[in-house]
Amino acid sequence: MAQLRQDYQKFVERGAEIIVVGPEDQAAFVKYWQNEKLPFIGLPDPNHTVANLYEQQVKLLKLGRLPATMVIDPTGQVRYSHYGSSMMDIPPNAELLAVIK
């Protein structure tokens, strides 16, 4: 998430908003967001409702939910998706910003 925080203003300048969905409950999200001073939205998903909707994979041997990154346009269409094969498999911001332009 540090990567997203670093370029957050570039996303905002393109009219985009970042929403991070995670398996933790609301209390854990609030604590983490406050400690890290994250400028974007955090959405707790402890029941995996959003994860299941977007078919985000869970691999217990790889520490849980694998990263999934999507760019969704204002009409709700997924314009870009990347499903990570490991916890470090996250697309660079430049790739996401190119889709948003």
Mean pLDDT of 51-67: 75
All domains in the chain, ordered by first residue? 2-100 (3.40.30.10)
Q: Which residue has the higher pLDDT, 62 or 54?
A: 54
Distance separating alpha carbons of residues 6 and 64, to the nearest angstrom: 25
Which residues contact residue 77 at a Cβ distance below 8 angstroms, ignoring those fewer than 6 apart? Answer: none
Identify the pLDDT of residue 59.
65
Instruction: Say how far residue 20 (Cα) sits from the centre of its chain.
Output: 4
How wide is the angle at C-alpha 71 spanned by C-alphas 81 and 66, nearest 5°?
Answer: 45
**Is residue 70 within 8 Å of 81, Cβ to Cβ?**
yes
Spatial CA neighbour of 2 closest among 90, 73, 86, 83? 90
pTM (predicted TM-score): 0.81
Q: What tens digit of pLDDT does each residue of 2-46 get?
A: 899 999 999 999 999 998 888 889 999 899 999 999 999 999 999
Q: What tens digit of pLDDT does each residue of 68-84 get?
A: 898 998 888 889 999 88
